[in-house]
Amino acid sequence: MSEDDTFRLAQAAAWRVRLADNDVDGCPELSAWLAEDARNATAWKRVQEDWALFGEHANSPEILELRSAALAHAHEAGQGRWVRSRRFALSHRLGIAAGILIVAVGGLYAWLQRPDIYTTDAGERRVVTLADGSQVELDSRSEVAVQYSAHARELTLTKGQARFDVTHDVERPFSVSADGHKVIATGTSFNVDLFGPSLLVTLIEGRVIVASTPSLSPLTKVDIPDTRITLDVGEQVVFSPKAPPSVAKVNLGQATAWENGEVVSENDSLTTVVARINRYAPHPIFIGDSATGELRISGVFHTGDIDGFVSTIVAYLPVRAEKETDGTIRLVHR
């Protein structure tokens, strides 16, 4: 951009900030300036497009604050006569006003690009309906970041577990990133679970592709190739740090039992069951020794009844529970 174009853009910005919400069509000075040169009109159009963003989001607290600051500084910069005889004086005020507008619009863009963060506490479940009608159901101690744009719907599960029911929109792919992997769908239902060091993706309806981003292994310093796994309904892919990805058919009722406030176990180790129960416990449960952790158990446990879970374990397994003063519980072999 030439110096002359920059100056014209600064002039347009100064006029926009000076007039704020006033009727620009009723300002003869602005009309005269626009008529002077077609490049003035081009600069004015560009500034108007940015300023319009304020109107689209005028009721948000962040934009109200940005706009108030811009107008306050513009008023301060414009004290005295607006246009003096020399271009230097005008240029100084134009620079101030243009700077204010650029900062304000830049702040607006930054605000628009911030993801929406949704979280749950221990024992809490939450259903969030997104702007396109898609739904995210969050399990206890979970967090998801949502960022929509004109061409993509991008979400990131940073901890916990969530079910995603996606509204079909082929022009805006829906993706969920978690632990270096991305689940891509256009209209479907799937479950993503960050369970300890592992990632589990379960397809409930439709079809999804789970892609891994190529990276360098920090241990072997060997390139990990890009992988793309397509899941069919009822299939689950498991990514773990100690084994290659594995795909298997699973019991969907068991995989999604958390939506009904349940943890379903089928001959699982006590270590695994306790890890799932701990998502809902106000105070953690610890396994005191390896022999206790290797015990196997089956059953349906209610996530809101931690004391009932401990009582069941003590009643059916050779285990005793030791409760600490801080509320934590230690399970040890008896």
Q: What DSSP string runs through 225-287?
A: PPEEEEE-TTEEEEEETTEEEEEEE--HHHHTGGGGTEEEEEEEEHHHHHHHHTTT-SS-EEE
Question: Cα-flanking dihedrals φ and ψ of residue 329, to 5°?
Answer: -125, 135
Question: Cα-flanking dihedrals φ and ψ of residue 236, to 5°?
Answer: -135, 135
Closest CA to 195 of 253, 251, 243, 238: 238
208/183 Cα distance (integer angstroms): 7
pTM, 2 dp: 0.67
Which of 81, 113, 145 is where one domain is finished? 113
User: What DSSP string runs through 25-57?
Assistant: GG-HHHHHHHHH-HHHHHHHHHHHHHHHHHHHT
Helices (H), 57-192: 61-77, 87-113
60/215 Cα distance (integer angstroms): 40
Same domain, 245 and 323: no
The count of structural domains within the chain is 3
For residues 306-328, give the mean pLDDT: 93
> pLDDT confidence of 88, banded at 50, 70, 90?
very low
Residue 212 corresponds to which tokens in the numbers above?
């891994």
For residues 283-310, give the mean pLDDT: 94
Q: What is the pLDDT of residue 187?
A: 82
Same domain, 200 and 288: no
Which of 254, 282, 305 is where one domain is finished? 254
Torsion 177-178-180-181 (CA) sign: negative
For residue 315, the domain's CATH number is 3.55.50.30
Structure confidence by residue, pLDDT tens digits, 177-196: 999 899 999 789 999 999 99
Same domain, 217 and 129: yes
Mean residue pLDDT across the chain? 81
Question: Cα-flanking dihedrals φ and ψ of residue 260, to 5°?
Answer: -100, 10
Amino acid at 175: S
Same domain, 235 and 318: no
Same domain, 56 and 85: yes
Same domain, 38 and 91: yes
Residue 82 has pLDDT above 50, yes or no: no
Residue 288 has pLDDT above 60, yes or no: yes
Structure confidence by residue, pLDDT tens digits, 214-257: 654 443 344 445 689 999 999 999 999 888 999 999 999 999 99
> pLDDT confidence of 3, banded at 50, 70, 90?
low
Same domain, 328 and 203: no
Same domain, 197 and 266: no
What percentage of the chain has pLDDT greater than the value 70?
A: 72
Out of 97-111, 113-127, 139-153, 234-248, least confident range: 97-111
For residue 185, the domain's CATH number is 2.60.120.1440
Question: Cα-flanking dihedrals φ and ψ of residue 26, to 5°?
Answer: -95, 20
CB of 35 closer than 8 Å to CB of 89: no
199/171 Cα distance (integer angstroms): 28
Residue 241 corresponds to which tokens in the numbers above?
């740090």
Same domain, 93 and 131: no
Out of 7-11, 133-137, 325-329, least confident range: 7-11
Q: What is the pLDDT of residue 134?
A: 95
CB of 22 closer than 8 Å to CB of 105: no
Q: Which residue range(s) make up the domain with 21?
A: 3-113
Strands 329-333 and 285-287: parallel
Q: What is the pLDDT of residue 62?
A: 55
Structure confidence by residue, pLDDT tens digits, 26-51: 678 888 888 888 888 888 887 777 66
Which of 113, 141, 166 is where one domain is finished? 113
Q: What is the pLDDT of residue 221?
A: 43
